[in-house]
């Protein structure tokens, strides 16, 4: 009895993808040795199969009915085609499981899991669904993990554009990815506009961006070894702990060991989706609003940090070269910026998320003063405060700090940085330091 319960539990784990390798080998042995266990397994799979087919039929019918609802005010010919669609779905249900005939041909990659993915118009791939081949897919935000037949998996973070062209490779045009390949899946490849990154049994990260004219790709090896192949450079191998920026200088591809005077650091999300901040932007009056600043930090290789990044809803120093999620003041300046709420709003609170400049740690707000205005000329003080330094080693998600003040009607919100963090190990004469901030959120309550 106890054995039967144990077997049922193992089979349940198998169906839900929760069985680890040790569990699989134990189940393998149990089924091989016991005809009773095999009979139980067959019955379980028969139920599983029947429920899958019922699910296929149900989904086909619901999709048809949804189309019918949206077409209820359409032309008669459209309505006729919808009726045919429903008839087709019903037919598929009557011929048990025939809807499976409509599935795409053998797949190369499947979505293993996703979180809050917002697809660009015209592209949608749901959890557990196959990734369509030869189709450029793009999502604005969120993250997803894709599994390949070899067992390799790739975590993609939005905004991201990618395409599946081969069975064991993924083309990433823009965005951050983390790759994991188990034993036996060596050779899995990420193709980028700048070069190819061949996994030699490892975990590594990529940030695929641009300097506006040429691709800039950052990579860091978390475990194992990666081979980089790009035109005009000798193929290079990186091992655990090494990182590079693949850039084009004077039309030649070059591998740099530092960007902005620091090695490249990326987060390892190769085996799970990135952790997200538990914050809602539903009542955030600043989201997507224009921001101006007298100046911002801009350097080569896509290291540009304009003020509109302060209200883009993207957090935690995410992004890629040319499209980072945070604002930085020019070198040796505290910096300031002004958010235009576009209309007078009564506000009581701001919420700030600091930056540490992609784990470099040489920038960020230490203290600030916030002012309000209705005409962008006369400002009155709302609040002042301090922000702690982001700890690059422990903070995978950066905290928001709230600052409340008396109810004030404003259209413009100016933040003046009065003190900023510098790199803890660089000399006082070093010029690479400034204020900077990831995100500002403004609330009426």
Partner 1 sequence: MQDHSLTAEEKLVTLIGSHQAVLHRYILTLLPDRALADDVLQETNLVLWRKAADYDSARPFLPWAMAIARFQVQAARRDSKRDLHVFNDELVDVLAQEAASAENNSAPMDHALEQCLKELPAKQREIILARYKRNGSVKVIAAEQGRTPTAISLLLMRIRKTLMQCIEQKVSLS
Binding site for partner 1 (CB under 8 A): 8-9, 12, 14-16, 18, 21, 24, 28, 31-32, 35, 38, 41-56, 58-59, 62, 95-98, 100-101, 103-107, 110, 113, 126-130, 147, 149-151, 184-185
- Rounded CA-CA distance 338/311 in Å is 11
Decide whether 59 or 376 has the Cβ nearer to partner 1.
59
Shortest Cβ 4–partner 1 spacing (Å): 10
Decide whether 98 or 279 has the Cβ nearer to partner 1.
98
Shortest Cβ 155–partner 1 spacing (Å): 15
Shortest Cβ 143–partner 1 spacing (Å): 13
- Rounded CA-CA distance 178/34 in Å is 41
Decide: 317 and 324 in contact? Cβ < 8 Å: yes
Decide whether 150 or 418 has the Cβ nearer to partner 1.
150
Shortest Cβ 99–partner 1 spacing (Å): 9
Shortest Cβ 228–partner 1 spacing (Å): 25
Tokens 């004469």 appear where? 429
Decide whether 185 or 218 has the Cβ nearer to partner 1.
185
- Rounded CA-CA distance 343/44 in Å is 61
- Please, which residues have CB within 8 angstroms of residue 314's CB and are 6 or more apart in sequence? 141, 325, 439
Decide whether 15 or 68 has the Cβ nearer to partner 1.
15
- 34: three-class secondary structure by DSSP: coil
- Please, which residues have CB within 8 angstroms of residue 201's CB and are 6 or more apart in sequence? 181, 183, 185, 186, 224, 225
Decide whether 184 or 288 has the Cβ nearer to partner 1.
184
Decide whether 105 or 394 has the Cβ nearer to partner 1.
105
Q: Find the radius of gyration of the CA atoms of the chain.
A: 26
Decide whether 148 or 368 has the Cβ nearer to partner 1.
148
Decide: 303 and 319 in contact? Cβ < 8 Å: no
Decide whether 53 or 292 has the Cβ nearer to partner 1.
53
Q: Among residues 232, 228, 235, 288, which one has the least CA distance to residue 264?
A: 228
Shortest Cβ 287–partner 1 spacing (Å): 23
Tokens 């499209």 appear where? 323
Helix ranges, 96-219 (H): none
- Please, which residues have CB within 8 angstroms of residue 252's CB and are 6 or more apart in sequence? 232, 233
Shortest Cβ 28–partner 1 spacing (Å): 6
For 45, other C-beta atoms within 10 Å of its C-beta total 14
Shortest Cβ 47–partner 1 spacing (Å): 6
Decide whether 58 or 232 has the Cβ nearer to partner 1.
58
Classify each residue of 379-401 as buried b or exposed e, where b means 16 or more C-beta atoms within 10 Å of its C-beta.
Answer: beebbebebeebebeebeebebe
How far CA 182 is from CA of 151, 186, 256, 274, in Å, comes to 6, 7, 28, 20
Handedness of CA 360, 178, 160, 258 (dihedral sign): positive
Shortest Cβ 21–partner 1 spacing (Å): 6
- Rounded CA-CA distance 340/344 in Å is 9
- Please, which residues have CB within 8 angstroms of residue 41's CB and are 6 or more apart in sequence? 7, 11, 31
Shortest Cβ 127–partner 1 spacing (Å): 5
Q: How many CA atoms lie within 13 A of 265 on its CB side?
A: 13
Shortest Cβ 441–partner 1 spacing (Å): 24
Q: How many CA atoms lie within 13 A of 398 on its CB side?
A: 29
Decide whether 20 or 375 has the Cβ nearer to partner 1.
20
């Amino acid at each position: 009895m106890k054995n039967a319960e144990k077997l049922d539990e193992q089979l349940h784990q198998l169906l839900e993808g929760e069985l680890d390798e040790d569990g699989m080998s134990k189940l393998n042995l149990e089924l091989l040795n016991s005809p009773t266990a095999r009979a139980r397994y067959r019955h379980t799979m028969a139920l599983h199969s029947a429920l899958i087919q019922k699910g296929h039929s149900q989904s086909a019918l619901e999709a048809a009915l949804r189309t019918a609802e949206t077409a209820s005010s359409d032309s008669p010919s459209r309505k006729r085609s919808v009726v045919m669609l429903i008839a087709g779905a019903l037919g598929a249900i009557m011929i048990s499981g025939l809807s499976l005939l409509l599935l795409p041909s053998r797949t190369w990659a499947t979505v293993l899991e996703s979180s809050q993915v917002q697809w660009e118009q015209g592209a949608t791939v749901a959890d557990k669904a196959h990734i369509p081949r030869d189709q450029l897919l793009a999502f604005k935000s969120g993250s997803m993990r894709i599994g390949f037949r070899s067992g390799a998996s790739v975590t993609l973070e939005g905004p991201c554009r990618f395409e599946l062209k081969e069975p064991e490779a993924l083309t990433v045009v823009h965005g951050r990815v983390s790759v994991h390949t188990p034993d036996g899946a060596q050779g899995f490849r990420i193709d980028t506009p700048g070069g190819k990154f061949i996994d030699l049994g490892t975990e590594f990260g990529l940030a695929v961006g641009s300097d506006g004219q040429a691709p800039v790709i950052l990579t860091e090896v978390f475990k194992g070894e990666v081979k980089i192949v790009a035109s005009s450079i000798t193929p290079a191998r990186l091992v655990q702990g090494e990182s590079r920026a693949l850039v084009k200088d004077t039309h030649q591809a070059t591998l740099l060991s530092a960007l902005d005077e620091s090695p490249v650091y990326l987060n390892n999300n190769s085996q799970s989706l990135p952790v997200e901040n538990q914050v809602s932007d539903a009542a955030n009056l600043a989201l997507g609003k224009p921001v101006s600043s007298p100046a911002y930090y801009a350097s080569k290789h896509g290291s540009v940090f304009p003020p509109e990044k302060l209200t883009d809803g993207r957090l935690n120093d995410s992004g890629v070269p040319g499209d980072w999620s945070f604002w930085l003041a020019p070198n040796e300046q505290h910096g300031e910026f002004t958010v235009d709420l576009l209309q007078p709003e009564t506000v009581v609170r701001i919420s700030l998320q600091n930056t540490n400049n992609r784990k470099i740690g040489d920038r960020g707000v230490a203290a600030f003063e916030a002012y309000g205005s209705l005409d962008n000329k006369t400002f009155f003080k709302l609040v002042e405060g301090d922000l702690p330094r982001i700890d690059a080693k422990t903070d995978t998600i950066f905290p928001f700090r709230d600052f409340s003040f008396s109810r004030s009607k404003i259209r413009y919100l100016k933040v003046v940085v009065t003190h900023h963090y510098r790199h803890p190990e660089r000399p006082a004469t070093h010029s690479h330091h400034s204020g900077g901030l990831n995100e500002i959120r403004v609330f009426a309550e």
